[in-house]
């Protein structure tokens, strides 16, 4: 069974999708609609460009979403079919978005809603943090962890606004990622469906501290996003 995200209320968001790793029943469309920040450039018409050049000098390279210091269980594989932006700031924002997904999976694997890895990748009290924390609370309460592969694609990165905010959109396909009972290791599966497609709209925020990663501030997540993500 793939990961299902029925709508759930959050304190600081109008609506957000909570991740329920349970039966085939749940589902529906959920979103946290405070994700739009005034002045943040929309990503909808700005596809992130391909890498330019083959410079191997690490110090000259922007942050790269393909590498991370977040360690996930061996049976969890997150595949980012994204192109690396040539703009260093956009690259850093996309890197932060990738680590936001890794951090959520790390928290689910650890069954810790307040996992430091997740806290360090999100802006305090933002809807992105509340969305992630709520889904980890649900999965840990049910005694579930996660296993399988999730693919991310169709990324778009907007223009940097006010030097510190940018919208990052992307799709996720959950057809090959499943619930796993933590105590027994039993994997719970169901057949892929339209609910396997998720569309994320994040507003990423640049840290005021030099060297810290871009963090997810707000999240708007749509389940069953066939129109945006299929094909």
Q: Please tell me the predicted confidence (pLDDT) of residue 193.
A: 79
Task: Decide: 183 and 143 in contact? Cβ < 8 Å.
Answer: yes
Computed over every residue of the chain, the mean pLDDT equals 79
pTM of the model: 0.77
* Angstrom distance (rounded) from CA 105 to CA 112: 10
Report helix, strand or coil for 57.
coil
Q: Please tell me the predicted confidence (pLDDT) of residue 23.
A: 29
- Residue 104, pLDDT > 50, answer yes
Can you list the alpha helix ranges (DSSP code H) found in 142-225? none
Q: For residue 201, give the CATH number of its domain.
A: 3.10.450.50
Number of domains in the chain: 1
Residue 59: inside a domain, yes or no?
A: no
194 falls in which pLDDT band (50, 70, 90)? confident
- H or E stretch at 148: strand 144-157
Q: Please tell me the predicted confidence (pLDDT) of residue 61.
A: 59
Residue 146: inside a domain, yes or no?
A: yes
Higher pLDDT, 38 or 97: 97
* Angstrom distance (rounded) from CA 31 to CA 6: 10
Residue in the block written with tokens 């802006």: 123
Higher pLDDT, 2 or 230: 230
Mean pLDDT of 137-162: 95
Adjacent-strand bridge partners of 165: 161, 205
Residue 101: inside a domain, yes or no?
A: yes
- H or E stretch at 116: helix 116-119
Of 48-52, 63-67, 68-72, 224-228, the one with minimum mean pLDDT is 48-52
> What is the number of residues in the chain?
231
Residue 65: inside a domain, yes or no?
A: no
Mean pLDDT of 71-81: 97
Residue 64: inside a domain, yes or no?
A: no
Residue 215: inside a domain, yes or no?
A: yes
Residue 97 token pair: 């978005």
Residue 61: inside a domain, yes or no?
A: no
pLDDT tens digits along 113-148: 999 999 999 999 999 999 999 999 999 999 999 999
Kindly tell me the burial class for residue 37, based on how many C-beta atoms sit within 10 Å of its own C-beta (0-12, 13-18, 19 or more).
middle
Print the domain residue range for 145: 7-49+72-229
Residue 56: inside a domain, yes or no?
A: no
């Amino acid at each position: 069974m793939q990961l299902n995200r029925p709508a759930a209320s959050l304190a600081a968001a109008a609506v957000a999708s909570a991740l329920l790793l349970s039966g085939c029943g749940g589902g529906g469309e959920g979103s946290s609609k405070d994700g739009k920040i005034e002045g943040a450039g929309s990503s909808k018409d700005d596809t992130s460009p391909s890498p330019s050049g083959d410079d191997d000098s690490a110090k000259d390279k922007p942050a790269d979403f393909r590498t991370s210091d977040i360690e996930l269980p061996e049976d969890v594989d997150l595949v980012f079919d994204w192109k690396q932006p040539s703009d260093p700031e956009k690259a850093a924002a996309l890197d932060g978005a990738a680590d936001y997904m890794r951090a959520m999976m790390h928290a689910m694997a650890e069954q810790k809603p307040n996992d430091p890895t997740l806290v360090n990748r999100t802006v305090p009290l933002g809807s992105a943090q509340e969305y992630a924390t709520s889904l980890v609370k649900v999965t840990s309460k049910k005694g579930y962890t996660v296993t399988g592969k999730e693919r991310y694609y169709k990324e778009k990165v907007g223009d940097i606004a006010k030097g510190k905010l940018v919208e990052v959109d992307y799709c996720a396909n959950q057809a090959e990622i499943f619930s796993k009972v933590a105590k027994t290791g039993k994997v719970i599966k169901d057949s892929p469906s339209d609910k396997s497609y998720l569309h994320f709209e994040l507003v990423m925020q640049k840290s005021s501290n030099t060297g810290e990663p871009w963090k997810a501030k707000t999240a708007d997540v749509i389940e069953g996003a066939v129109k945006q993500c299929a094909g």
